[in-house]
Amino acid sequence: MKKINFDIKLKNHVWFWVIYFLLNFLRWGAYFNDYSYSFKSNLIEFALHIPLVYFNILVLIPLFVLKSKYIKYTFSLLASLSVVYLLKTGLTYFIISKNIWPEANRDYRPFEINHIVAVCIGELYVLAIASSIYLMLTWLKERDRNKAIMENQNKIKLKYLKNQIQPHFFFNTLNNLYALSLESSDKVPDVIIKLSNLMEYVLYEIDDTQFVPLINEIDYIQNYIEIEKLRFENVEVSINLESDIDNIKTPPLLFISLIENAFKHGGVNNEKLKIKINFRIVNSNLEFEIINNFVISPSLKPKKGIGLSNTKKRLKLIFKTNFIIQQMIKFNFYIIKIQIPLYNED
């Protein structure tokens, strides 16, 4: 069963009823020029208002309204109003005056229709005000709680996507290292050192940080490229920094899977692999562009990788819709562009 938590501080409830009581006491005391009667009358009314309001909020609404049982709620509310009417009429008669409705222009007896309607309307008025305020505050708290839950879920998803990149990348690198070891290549020690540098960055420098200095990411990319160059005999890679990036930050490991794909797919049947990587600042946005050549072959069956899909998911989680990612083919060049809002360290 859905519940409405009684989580507004007690002092706020007390202040609401005290202020509301004083306003009614002063209002009706001035209206009838009888503050003694106003005080006694409001004392009785508020002794009934308060239980009715909380009975409605904590029992009737969760039990019926939140379960869409509106007919049962209506009958339950009418039964509650009947009890309140009996109590108010009896208390007024025995404590204040034999005239159960002194505010009226004539004497009324209990259970006259006008008196019943007047009492019920008064109770519904208080019920509507108090319940509306309480439910609005409860809704605001629930909204903030849901927002915090959503943000936490997004952090978990981002961490999962980031962690998904790491084993994928290191698995491929270890395969490359294994291939070189079978050839008894003297490149193995260099690969191990560079791989160690990459692992140190992933394990100790980025951790759970949402943004890292772009210059650190570029160092990481360069280490990765050096490893791939040991595997590919004929490859030409250039990294161009067309703007000042000293204070710019970016999500960690955002670009590496796209660079890995350029090697992985561009290097198939390619006599000379050419990769160009560009970083530039465009209209308060950071733009990343990677271009690689490839050989079109009918026998080549492209494999489904996690790189581009993973990158798109991360961009959506971090930047919502405030990013651009484009992929295109021009002649035998594959191009990917990413544009994200500029994150400046200053």
What pLDDT is attached to residue 306?
62
What pLDDT is attached to residue 118?
83
Whether 303 contacts 195, CB under 8 Å: no
Output phi, psi for 335, to 5 deg: -125, 135
Beta carbons within 8 Å of 284's beta carbon, 6+ residues apart: 341, 342
What whole-number distance in Å separates Cα of residue 339 and Cα of residue 201? 24
- pTM of the model as a whole: 0.55
What whole-number distance in Å separates Cα of residue 245 and Cα of residue 222? 16
Helix/strand/coil (H, E, C) string of 81-99?
HHHHHHHHHHHHHHHHCCC
Tokens 């160059």 identify what position? 229
Rg value, the chain, Cα: 36
What pLDDT is attached to residue 5?
52
* Helix, strand, or coil (residue 301): coil
What whole-number distance in Å separates Cα of residue 127 and Cα of residue 118? 14
* In the chain, where the domains are located: 10-146, 185-344
Provide the CATH number for the domain formed by 185-344 in this structure.
3.30.565.10
User: Terminal CA-to-CA distance of the chain, rounded, Å?
Assistant: 50
Other C-beta atoms lying within 10 Å of the C-beta of residue 275 = 22
Locate all alpha helices (DSSP H) within 183-277, ordered by sequence: 188-200, 214-231, 256-266
What pLDDT is attached to residue 320?
86
What whole-number distance in Å separates Cα of residue 31 and Cα of residue 38? 9
What pLDDT is attached to residue 27?
80
Note down pLDDT in tens along the chain; length 346 residues. 444 455 667 787 788 888 888 888 888 778 778 788 778 887 888 888 888 888 988 888 888 888 889 899 899 999 998 998 888 888 877 777 677 666 666 666 777 888 788 888 888 888 888 888 888 887 888 787 777 766 666 666 556 555 555 566 667 677 777 777 777 777 778 778 887 887 788 777 776 677 889 999 999 899 889 888 877 778 899 999 988 888 899 988 889 889 988 888 887 777 888 999 999 998 889 999 999 998 876 554 544 456 788 888 888 888 888 999 999 998 889 999 999 998 755 5
User: Token pair for residue 156?
Assistant: 């978990």
Whether 188 contacts 182, CB under 8 Å: no
One-letter identity of residue 276:
K
* Helix, strand, or coil (residue 278): strand
What pLDDT is attached to residue 23?
86
What pLDDT is attached to residue 218?
93
What pLDDT is attached to residue 161?
53
